[in-house]
Amino acid sequence: MSDAEHPTRASEAFFGRRKGKPLRERQVQHLETLLPELKVDLTTEAPADITTLYGFKPDRMRLEIGFGGGEHLIHRALETPKTAFIGVEPFVNSMAKLIGRVEETGVKNIRLYDDDATELLDWLPANSIDQIDLLYPDPWPKKKHWKRRFVSKVNLDRFARVLKPGGLFCFASDIDTYVNWTLMHCGAHPAFVWTAENAADWLTPYAGWPGTRYEAKAKREGRKSAYLTFRRL
């Protein structure tokens, strides 16, 4: 199935299941009380200045799609308090875990969205984001499922619209076929250029990289990771 057959979405669904094991009572409370305070409300028109979603004037806006366990998102939010973050994660258990960490740390520069990232991308104002992180996304390893991979022409079009000129798209994966897939799609897109100058650039983790549980699993299983950075022209 080609991108042309999906003019508004990357695929039927870029994510799998929505919920895992039963949540603890406190996690349920977090979802009921804290998530509404942090959630980006797509039922309203997006503000011309997206930074008004925060109680301060941030220096940068950063979007992480599919934050999983939330280790990277929390680390970056604490590391750069003047950067505003939006984290997207449709998996309920991961969202509950992240909100628990938000409460524990008292971090103030995170907003959240708990559904399809394409909906948020279509809602955001043009030229509003400085960096998009897509870290260890579901690789959909079977060839018949590759159309569900989040990296696609239609989603790169979305990225190009919301990223500021000079903004970055950062992608990490331990799956060779997905790394090659991403290089191919970004290489074919006129709005993006790969920033690597030598092999070490894409084999070396990003500055300040905290690691993730997915990366740790990949290392245990003998897989190497690639860290790709593309700049919006």
Q: Which token pair is 178?
A: 């997905």
Q: Which of 138, 157, 174, 201 does the annotation list as catalytic?
A: 138
- Is 138 considered catalytic here? yes
Q: Enter the DSSP assignment of 19.
A: -
β partners of residue 83: 60
Q: Round to whole Å and give the CA distance between 161 and 115.
A: 20
Q: Round to whole Å and give the CA distance between 121 and 118.
A: 5
Q: Round to whole Å and give the CA distance between 135 and 89.
A: 12
Q: Is 53 helix (H, G, I), strand (E, B) or coil?
A: helix
Q: Is 146 helix (H, G, I), strand (E, B) or coil?
A: helix
Which residues contact residue 129 at a Cβ distance below 8 angstroms, ignoring those fewer than 6 apart? 50, 61, 62, 63, 162, 163, 164, 167
Q: Is 31 helix (H, G, I), strand (E, B) or coil?
A: helix
Please tell me the chain's helix, strand, coil percentages from 3-state DSSP, rounded to the nearest 5: 40, 20, 40
Q: Show which residues are catalytic.
A: 138
